[in-house]
Structure 1
């Protein structure tokens, strides 16, 4: 039978397919006529009549081939079994429907990632690469500037902690340590004089009642730091009364009563304090060197 089908002319096959199509559209008729072999002839006659009415002459063997093909379910579309390949093919075919929205989201995602990469990832990578070099440079400067070996040793300890933080990926900690080292370097390299304030309408000294001592007095000279450029220097000063640090250009320095009275008498004489330099902070040290008797305690408010 297969060889017979293969040898059939293309025109006969096309007509047979048409016969099958017509028969499918008249399935009720087919089901009734094919039930019994004797009815096959009646179905054949009906097909002859139908095509003749359309002015189409179809040989009987072609009509019979069409009936046989219907019985054998030839020319019938069988859907491809569902699989991951067919699902993938359906997705690809429907890309015109979902392609633009997905493409738009992909573009938006790419833009956001690009911004994130440029503003966050790249700076952090550069910082990771540059941090060890910066830390080494600052520590070298501190070692060369510090006059006290303890300061240099403490700086090296901080640097080691920073390097461990970098190795652990804790860049925030490493950056914080680097900032502390930079502050230490700046403080070591800074030089200034500590001078008693002697401007018009501004106190050069004050006294305060200490807590829990109604009869006692704490004496303070109001001082300022003057840099090598003759300009006031803003410093971080710790207030012993409230335990808070504050950046300021003027603060109170605690002295004993005799020193306080001597400065007061100096100013009262002609309004000018002759010995107004009470301390000096040279390069290489962290704390000032005072020329007067003082505990070093300070206040920022009065």
Structure 2
């Protein structure tokens, strides 16, 4: 008898069918017969099965099928569990887990990019901007002091500018950034105030009172007088001014306010307006370039109100 490896394909296929049939018949045969009778009984049972189907199977194929059944030939046995089997299963399932891995990797990349552009990059730019501003402050102090010297000949104002610059440089050397920037802001504010030029004019248009009076709660025996005014620059633009009200002690940014005056000025302005409805002497004070304070007409007092 030839070896199984050299058997014709038809014989091999028949042997596989025999083994498959045996598996269905083996349980019944095993229950009915002893071990030494089982092989012969299986061969006989197979012969009958195939004969009933009109198939003539040679005895050598039937016997070979019984032997193959004993050796579990043509039976799939899964590989034993182990590291190699685990690697094989991972490789086989790569089509599934690789998609999830790619998606997770993409999410991580997006999160890292978002963190960099939303958090890290702005922080780096802010830090770089802060460093650049700090490094430029000494030159900024010098430039602002020079502008102040150009704007005014008032030695007190010039001394104030020098003091602010010195304080700023000391704050820089001490690492006090807040104080250093405050010195810069104070110098810029000083420059802005020195550059201002405007007139404080009495308002004499419809809908706005020219003057008001108040009896303060703290001193009911006294009456305070106020002329309603506005600041107007050389181009005729009405300016906003930060005014501290003596009634509320709060600073407000307003485009008109009541300036406290003596009773003499108050009555003079009232008479002036009553003559023709227009205040002829409408300028109550002047703010000149290079000066910090308004130069008021005689009789103007300290104090103002923002509501009436």
What is the RMSD computed on CA atoms of the aligned residues? 5.0
Deviation at 1:76, TM superposition (A): 2.7
**Alignment match, 2:286:** 279
- Find the aligned partners of 1:127 and 1:64 in 2 and give their Cα distance: 85
Q: Determine helix, strand or coil for the equivalent of 2:213.
A: strand
- Find the aligned partners of 2:263 and 2:232 in 1 and give their Cα distance: 25
Structure 1 residues 122, 178: CA separation in 2 closer, same or farther (over 3 Å shift)? Answer: farther
Between the two proteins, the alignment pairs up a number of residues equal to: 278
Q: Please list, as runs of the form range in 1=range in 2, the aligned pairs for 1:67-216 lying within 5 A after superposition.
A: 67-70=69-72, 75-78=75-78, 81=81, 92-94=94-96, 110=110, 125-133=124-132, 136=136, 139-140=140-141, 142-146=144-148, 147=158, 148-149=160-161, 150-152=163-165, 164=177, 184=189, 187-188=192-193, 190-201=195-206, 202-216=208-222
The one-character-per-residue Cα deviations of 1:30-87 (angstroms, maximum 9, x if unpaired) are 65378623212212332344455373746245313321223xx873332664887578
- Find the aligned partners of 1:178 and 1:56 in 2 and give their Cα distance: 114
Deviation at 1:276, TM superposition (A): 0.9
| Greater Rg over alpha carbons, structure | 2
Q: Determine helix, strand or coil for the equivalent of 1:196.
A: strand
> Are the equivalent residues in 2 in contact too, given 1:236–1:245 (CA < 8 A)?
yes
- Find the aligned partners of 1:25 and 1:181 in 2 and give their Cα distance: 103
The one-character-per-residue Cα deviations of 1:95-126 (angstroms, maximum 9, x if unpaired) are 69x86xx969x68x95x998887777766654
Alignment TM-score, normalising by the size of structure 1: 0.63
Alignment TM-score, normalising by the size of structure 2: 0.62
Deviation at 1:214, TM superposition (A): 1.7
- Say which of 248, 252, 262 aligns to 1:246: 252
Say whether residues 1:301 and 2:301 are aligned partners: no
**Alignment match, 2:66:** 64
